[in-house]
Amino acid sequence: MHRKFLAGRPLGTAVLALALAACGAGGGEVAIGTAGPFEEGYARMVRRAVEMAVDEINAEGGVRGTRLSVQAQDDGGDGVKAAQIAEQFLADARVKAVVGHANSGAMVGAARVYDRGLVAVIPSATSPELTGVSPWVYRVTTNDSTNGANLARFAAGLQAKRVAVLYENNTYGRGLAAAFRAAYPGELVGVDPIAGDGRLVEPFISYYKQVAPDLVFVAGTELSGGALLREARRQGFATRWVAGDGWSGVVSDTAAAEGVYVAVPFSIRDTRAEAVRFVEAFRGKYGVEPDANAAMAYDATKLLAKAMAEVGFDREAIRGYLATVNGQRSFSGVTGALRFRPDRDPDRSGFVMTQARGGTLVPLETP
């Protein structure tokens, strides 16, 4: 009786080995999902960083010999659409984990879906509503309760006694503004909601030009931020501007943004070797400087790849690995050492205070 062989092994053994390999890697295809409103700069940064990290991982042989791919879906920043995309990721066996969603409103809508069995690591959504929202949802950036209080202390340190607050009327804007207001010790001369797309900013600038606050704090993103700064310049409204990480991209308008203060969880001026390498690689690949959102998304992707390398491609096992990244084990990324608290927010301080100078965000010597 003759036995069939394949590449020097009995056919039955080879088939078994191939079957086991297919089970371990979800049929040979392993994907990381990511989602955000990709027409907006900060979300494009997230997507680019995820794609760059996956390209680097594949260039080094992939994870357990398996190449990764990226499934990117545009959620428009909308919670309902984000939940629908999360359902698609959950139903697709190839998707082993998600980096996202990029903003708070979308992530709040999607979190209940991921709670049914798919890990999501948040790179840039900062709403306190996401703290402890699900054992399947982790976050690498600090939440707005911490950030708003620290920003209020920074504003007070600038001797700003009369402050106006503008906020985008969404989950991110309301949460950050509320935390700032609760901690700010001076006089609030105005608290007003603005549109996230930057429309109708002229009346606010006209009004605050008359009120003359010592400082304007803005809880918003770069689209509305750029519109505010350009209108202030047009009207000759001179004040100090302070904002959270949503303003990372305003520096692209060097004339309007010069001098504004922006709190970010990562600075491209970081001199650590891993941070320098990341910035240079991102600049070389995309022709632009990365922002903090990109750095956080890059770390989230590399963390998930490490988890898969350690425990395989089972979704529950990946979640179990992330649960061990705590006081006993840390992940070393371009944004520094990462550990998770029991509520799955990062166990580290909030941000670097920077000032826009010459088209880049320069860390301040002192807060």
Give the pLDDT confidence score for residue 352 in this predicted structure.
Answer: 87
Please tell me the pTM assigned to this model.
0.81
Strand-by-strand arrangement of the 137-139 sheet: 68-74, 30-36, 95-99, 120-122, 137-139
The residue that leads in pLDDT, 172 or 285, is 285
Nearest-CA neighbor of 225 among 173, 190, 265?
A: 173
Nearest-CA neighbor of 8 among 17, 64, 66?
A: 17
Give the pLDDT confidence score for residue 129 in this predicted structure.
Answer: 92
The arithmetic mean of pLDDT across residues 124-135, rounded, is: 94
Tell how strand 120-122 and strand 68-74 pair up.
unpaired
Identity of the amino acid at 61 = G
DSSP assignment of 102-144, as one string?
SSHHHHHHHHHHHTTT--EEESS---GGGTTS-TTEEESS--H
Q: What is the mean pLDDT of the chain?
A: 90
φ, ψ dihedrals at 30, nearest 5°: -125, 125
The arithmetic mean of pLDDT across residues 29-41, rounded, is: 95
% helix, strand, coil for the chain, step of 5: 45, 20, 35
Give the pLDDT confidence score for residue 235 in this predicted structure.
Answer: 97
Residue 15 has pLDDT above 50, yes or no: no
Rounded to 10°, the helix 292-311/273-286 angle is 110
- What is the greatest pairwise CA distance in the chain? 98
Contact 165, 217 (CB under 8 A): yes
The arithmetic mean of pLDDT across residues 108-117, rounded, is: 98
Q: Could you give all domains of the chain from N- to C-terminal order, each with its CATH number?
A: 21-142+271-349 (3.40.50.2300), 145-264 (3.40.50.2300)
With cut-offs at 50, 70 and 90, classify the pLDDT of residue 365.
Answer: low
With cut-offs at 50, 70 and 90, classify the pLDDT of residue 350.
Answer: low
Give the pLDDT confidence score for residue 146 in this predicted structure.
Answer: 87
What CA–CA distance (Å, rounded) separates 112 from 24? 27
CA atoms within 13 A on the CB side of 36: 28
Give the pLDDT confidence score for residue 315 in this predicted structure.
Answer: 98
With cut-offs at 50, 70 and 90, classify the pLDDT of residue 9.
Answer: very low
β-sheet bridge partners, residue 73: 35
The residue that leads in pLDDT, 182 or 360, is 182
Contact 333, 88 (CB under 8 A): no
Give the pLDDT confidence score for residue 328 in this predicted structure.
Answer: 75
pLDDT in tens, 292-332: 999 999 999 999 999 999 999 999 999 999 999 997 789 99
φ, ψ dihedrals at 8, nearest 5°: 80, 0
What percentage of the chain reaches a pLDDT higher than 70?
91
